[in-house]
Structure 1
Amino acid sequence: MRHSEATVTVVDPRSYMTYQPFLPEAAAGSISPRHVVVPLRRVLPGAEVLTGRVTSIDQDRKVATVAPLVGEAYELPFDYLVVALGAVSRTFPIPGLAEQGIGMKGVEEAIGLRNHVLEQLDKADSTTDENVRRKALTFVFVGGGFAGAETIGEVEDMARDAAKYYTNVKREDMRFILVDAADKILPEVGPQLGKWGKEHLEGRGIEVYLSTSMDSCVDGHVVLKNGLEVDSNTIVWTAGVKPNPALARFGLPLGPRGHVDAEPTLQVKGTDYIWAAGDNAQVPDMASRRAGVENAWCPPNAQHALRQAKVLGDNVISGMRGFPQKEYSHANKGAVAGLGLHKGVAMIVMGKMKIKLKGRLAWYMHRGYHGLAVPTWNRKIRVFADWTLAMILKREVVSLGALETPREEFYEAAKPAPAPAAKAEKSEKAKAS
């Protein structure tokens, strides 16, 4: 755009963007959590960034209602609107899941999972209660897609390394369980590599249960549909995603699963000033449809979202100037997944040929692809620096669980002592009882 031709305003409840493919490595300590996020105000110097949530959209008046972090909500007028809210964890009404589950959609959850797992090793090493110890050393992961398989692979690697520093904890004492309702894991890389990935995880002592699901996990007592019951303090939920439920409040046409219904040009159906892309959009997969696949839709992954964003940006400017819209079309280039240090699977699509890799070479492909794809050279350099240092330095295995309650110790030191009268009253009540 020309200088001062338009004002671009970004509204987001967080002031940073998270590169989600790196969350498993952040949870394992292979990458610093700060290097997984990109500050919006730094990378979008020409945009106005507002930290808040869009609670409603009035299409007739062309205004969005924004609820900021503090203060009253206000209206924000617009001429053109881009809806890119992404996805949230897809959950089910399983008893105990909300109280016990740990997600893997944000960097906060990745940090929390790392601290939590190491804290469980601390508990197991210091207790004499066998039930407490067994529950602390049992780790359940629900979901066998990229997020689930990569996370359990990375966390198992970290726990194996950490066990070397504990007197009373060994890898053989731990129990890792991966559960998926489908009949295979890693469906994105195909059945052959998915089968290898399952066999690889099982070879590392990870129990993999397919075609089953979790019925309940109240108080950490996990009950699977196949009859298995275990007690666990760690239940990680990575069983897919769904479009952000806030979309239902915006008055936009939605598909059967809650996505914004978009044309191949990424314009929302029935409008000429609203576009949608990424995980919250239902976009026809024109490359697959031209190849004869009926009713094909773009899957919710970064490969499509990054390319859709470029077409969307051009189409918004074309809409401003009255030019024709361009259709989005992209053929799948493959997929890569890391299953821990020096372990991975990769499927590279070159025309009609599919190259399948596994083991160390696939792991290099995984790191190389994502290392170059993470936004900004600042983050690329920092990520590669983390990996380089990890080759010569040992992994950090310290738990910083107190980060979740940083004021607790100070509060205990600063809170006023009970008044003498209150102490006497408590003493009298104790005697009477």
Structure 2
Amino acid sequence: MNKHIVIVGGGYVGMYTALRLQRKLGKELRNRSVRITVIDPNSYMTYQPFLPEAAAGNLSPRHVVAPLRRVLPKATILNGMVTKVDHANKKVTFVPGEGEPREIPYDLIVMAAGSISRTLPIPGLTDIGIGFKTVGEAIALRNRVLHQLDVAESTDDVEVRRRALTFVVVGAGFAGVEALAELEDMAKDSTRYYRNIKPSDVRWVLVEATNRVLPEVGPEMGKWTLEQLRERGIEVKLDTRLESATGGHVVLSDGTEFDAETLVWTAGVKPSPVVTEGDLPLDERGRIKTTTQLTVAGTKDAFAAGDLAGVPDVTNPGQYCAPNAQHAVRQAKVLGDNIVRTLHGQQLVEYRHKYVGSVAGLGLHQGVANVYGVKLRGLAAWFMHRTYHLSRVPTLNRKVRVVADWTLALFFKRETVSLGEMEHPRDEFRAAVASNRR
């Protein structure tokens, strides 16, 4: 047996599948009868449920990512993009960060490239909009919020001040509500260090096209979350769409208009573009057509899971598994085992998982949870949120670092410094060079 397994994507599914294969194929990997290659633009896996806490300064950004080369020492990690999958000839086109594209042959392929933000053709969306899927976006958003407080404190122009202190979040699912709650909590906490900004001066607007927030936790807990957000002074606009944001002038479908400098877009995701660049079958939603055994339908030696895969939910006939971390991590376990079974000529098993519930953080000491039918809110839900996600963070190293961050936060106030210049580190040097030329 001499098999090469290529895993496209190093996120939840990609990393955990490779981790599972490392454990199950130790002998084969040592004698090189099996090789594993993981391809991802980044050299790390991001634990996305902790992005809101990283954005709010409760966690160090380094501690919400897991370095792939350290976690997967028995696999080859290639950083770059897969731009085409030619499964008929069992090869992918790989474009590295630097250098020429090349083709990489394989025997088995795992499609685990995840998803990207699903945007709409809204005028001006890119003028002030930012996503919330990567650690880079989370930290840039943190810097942006704190920078806008600096702007408001330093100006006498009423309109500039009002615009700087207005923040919009589009999408009231997990990502939107948790990001909003953590950032609002951070901004409110930060105002104590400003002479001319009160918490009531900072305006937060949550825009949601449907009639509810956090549908994942159920109607009762969603309604409680809505009440909590409004009690904190957050404007929640349900059954409302973003019409335009040209030049920072926000127009909503309910007729509301105002200016803002910051807009966070969390209104859904769509499969990675790589799914359309190849010969793997797609379903009606543009996802890779996948069986309950996590194989690609109608093909051999191809597997898929996570956000880009349409995985039938065997516990709920006619429905598909939701694109969330809970399913991705569990799918990776079954996926890894089924690859081992394929290599050994054994019968594959179905992915079957009963949805246990959901937990969400709403800022420091606030949360909401619906787990096994038990509904919690406030401090108890916040503690459950942290405990659950701590148990899911990969590697003991990262777990210890996360606990250390949380422990330090009990004794010291969070940092409220904007380091926006990190996003453009060469600007000051360029300005100095230009000045010396004059």
What TM-score, normalized by structure 1, do the two folds share? 0.93
3-state SS of 1:415 partner: helix
Once the two structures are superposed, the pairs formed by residues 355-366 of structure 1 within 5 Å of their partners are 355-366=374-385
Q: Give yes or no for the alignment of 1:102 onto 2:130.
A: yes
Once the two structures are superposed, the pairs formed by residues 309-388 of structure 1 within 5 Å of their partners are 309-349=332-372, 354-388=373-407
Q: Give yes or no for the alignment of 1:176 onto 2:204.
A: yes
Between the aligned residues of both structures, percent identity stands at 56
- The residue type equivalent to 1:195 in the other structure is K
Question: Which residue of structure 1 lines up, in the alignment, with residue 271 of structure 2?
Answer: 243
Q: State the Cα RMSD in Å.
A: 1.0
- 8 Å Cα contact 2:36-2:76 kept in structure 1: yes
Question: Which residue of structure 1 lines up, in the alignment, with residue 189 of structure 2?
Answer: 161
Q: Deviations over 1:43-94 (max 9, x none)?
A: 0000000001111122222111100011111111100000001011111000
Supply the distance in 2 between the matched residues of 1:246 and 1:172 (Cα, whole angstroms): 45
Q: Which structure: larger Rg? A: 1
1:40 to 68, 71, 78: 68
Residue 99 (structure 1) shift: 2.5
- 8 Å Cα contact 2:313-2:321 kept in structure 1: yes
Supply the distance in 2 between the matched residues of 1:392 and 1:254 (Cα, whole angstroms): 52
Supply the distance in 2 between the matched residues of 1:204 and 1:59 (Cα, whole angstroms): 53
The gaps in structure 1 that reach 5 residues or longer are 290-294, 420-433
- The residue type equivalent to 1:80 in the other structure is L
- 8 Å Cα contact 2:289-2:310 kept in structure 1: yes
Q: Deviations over 1:273-318 (max 9, x none)?
A: 00001111100111223xxxxx111000111111110111111111
What TM-score, normalized by structure 2, do the two folds share? 0.92
Residue 416 (structure 1) shift: 6.8
3-state SS of 1:193 partner: helix
- 8 Å Cα contact 1:245-1:258 kept in structure 2: no
Once the two structures are superposed, the pairs formed by residues 14-163 of structure 1 within 5 Å of their partners are 14-163=42-191
Supply the distance in 2 between the matched residues of 1:219 and 1:415 (Cα, whole angstroms): 29
Supply the distance in 2 between the matched residues of 1:416 and 1:403 (Cα, whole angstroms): 21
1:394 to 413, 419, 425: 413
Supply the distance in 1 between the matched residues of 2:122 and 2:381 (Cα, whole angstroms): 36
- 8 Å Cα contact 2:127-2:248 kept in structure 1: no
The gaps in structure 2 that reach 5 residues or longer are 1-24
- 8 Å Cα contact 1:57-1:64 kept in structure 2: yes
- 8 Å Cα contact 1:102-1:109 kept in structure 2: yes
3-state SS of 1:286 partner: coil
How many residue pairs get matched?
410
3-state SS of 1:230 partner: strand
- 8 Å Cα contact 1:136-1:232 kept in structure 2: yes
- The residue type equivalent to 2:427 in the other structure is E
Question: Which residue of structure 2 lines up, in the alignment, with residue 273 of structure 1?
Answer: 301
Supply the distance in 2 between the matched residues of 1:21 and 1:266 (Cα, whole angstroms): 24
Supply the distance in 2 between the matched residues of 1:150 and 1:165 (Cα, whole angstroms): 24
Question: Which residue of structure 2 lines up, in the alignment, with residue 425 of structure 1?
Answer: none
1:193 to 212, 221, 228: 221
Q: Deviations over 1:147-181 (max 9, x none)?
A: 01101100010001100000011111111100100
- 8 Å Cα contact 2:93-2:104 kept in structure 1: yes
Supply the distance in 1 between the matched residues of 2:164 and 2:131 (Cα, whole angstroms): 18
Residue 418 (structure 1) shift: 4.8
- The residue type equivalent to 2:257 in the other structure is E
- The residue type equivalent to 1:357 in the other structure is L
